[in-house]
Structure 1
Amino acid sequence: MRENENTRGRFLRVSQTISRGGPRSQVAIPAQGMIEFRDALTDLLEDFGTDDGGFRGELPEGRHIRVDNKIFYFDIGQNNRGVFMRVSE
């Protein structure tokens, strides 16, 4: 994550941490949406996380937030490496 600023204002750039030979996926979250973004992540961790970083229960439904003219989607998935959250716009 990196905070940036351009002519349209301040924003937080969130990048994929692992890229397997392809381009790195990124989303830019406007400063006005940073608190809602944090709250959405916190809610998911409080509702479905465990103290050891694991997962409990069924996978939650996806969620979304609207910031200005953007909609950010939070989708939970699972594969052979564990549980993950996909953030897209």
Structure 2
Amino acid sequence: MLGGIWGIISTIIVGLVLGVIGRLLAPGAQKIPLWLTIVVGIVAAFIGNWLAGVFGVRDTNGIDWIRHVFQVAAAVVGVLLATGAYAKIKGSQKTS
């Protein structure tokens, strides 16, 4: 039971870190809430892991730098997509 809780907590922390890095590297201002930043980071971690597996660099000796580059790149793209989608949703709610 405790391992499951720590798995969830570590997933949220990784998502937060990746989401924040994605926001820092994305151009312009990102007006998205913290919860969406975390969700983008979590999804980016999975996408980055998948891409690293596709390219055969998921598991390497030492630190998996290439996998982390894929994760950060996915986070930047995710933040940009989320920013656009969130702005569109918020804009449509104001006109209703």
Q: TM-score, normalised by structure 1?
A: 0.31
Higher helix share: 2
State the structure with more CA Rg.
2
